[in-house]
Structure 1
């Protein structure tokens, strides 16, 4: 059965570790590197020059998610609540209110204002029709 280089390395970490410690970086013409996985933080040994993660798919996704989360958190700024005017740090990028109470209060105000504007319009129409 055919085995990829990555699968072989995963199955032979003990051999790579021994070779790394005995010969110091090389075995059979291949350079062995000792790395800390960017996704899970485990120490692993590899002969693949471009490898950064012990399990490329899973650990690569973990590292990418962590980087994106940190980047989004850095970009967050203190915003001013549209209802009460208080400064707050949003949990989401599209947040406009500091709390659910302010969100609900602003919604009720908008609905009431829209209903009163409609009533005023109807009153003007009825007055002009008479």
Structure 2
């Protein structure tokens, strides 16, 4: 679809969808949402950008190769699970801590890092698949 309206609106829509995907990711600890749903929303945003402007625009927007993003997410999710072994609790047990950053107390947990890892795995794998299909269709 190469209409002027769609090509003009796609970058703005992509930005809003990426922002919303981060909101859904961070909201998912206490309410519905989380890494998987947020990752699907982000991958959909990159798909819209790819339909409007092509695969090279998505590759420039992502900066890193989608499979590298997916691999880093898998590493992050695995490390979040392995951290529980350090404290001698069962695998994937949630651990919490608080740090002070610029005078603000920030609560961190391994559950959050696991969710971020899932988010990155979903974004990387779905975007990589969509880009491969789009390249095949164009080529």
Q: Same fold (TM over 0.5)?
A: no
Quickly name the TM-score band, shorter chain normalised: under 0.3
Q: TM-score, normalised by structure 1?
A: 0.28
Q: TM-score, normalised by structure 2?
A: 0.26
Query: Which of structures 1 and 2 has the larger relative contact order (alpha carbons within 8 angstroms, sep 6+)?
Result: 2
Is the helix fraction higher in 1 or 2? Answer: 2
- Of structures 1 and 2, the larger Rg is shown by 1
